Amino acid sequence: MHKLTLSVDEKVVGRAKRYAARHGTSVSRMVERYLDLVVAPARLAEEDPPVLRMLRGAAKGISHEEYGSHLQRKYR
């Protein structure tokens, strides 16, 4: 297993830890499952969890160039 360092707002981390404890899992396992869903080979859209369908559709109709320009303006 590899380690991954992430920067996450402390309030989000706290909520994630409480959620994980209530559901008998760990934050690491939750992140692993989420990343696995995001990078999984394409499946039928109705098989995806609602949050993944929402995230995949968030940039519909925006070209890579437009998105790149947006990121450059945002992080200057």
Length of the chain: 76
Per-run averaged pLDDT (10 residues), the chain, 76 residues: 92 96 95 86 65 71 79 81
The reported pTM is: 0.53
* HEC per residue, 3-57: CCCCCCCHHHHHHHHHHHHHCCCCHHHHHHHHHHHHHCCCCCHHHCCHHHHHHHH
CA distances to 26, 36, 48, 74 from 70, rounded to whole Å, are: 34, 27, 28, 6
**Would you state the pLDDT for residue 43?**
60
User: Is the CB of residue 39 less than 8 Å from the CB of residue 49?
Assistant: no
**Would you state the pLDDT for residue 17?**
96
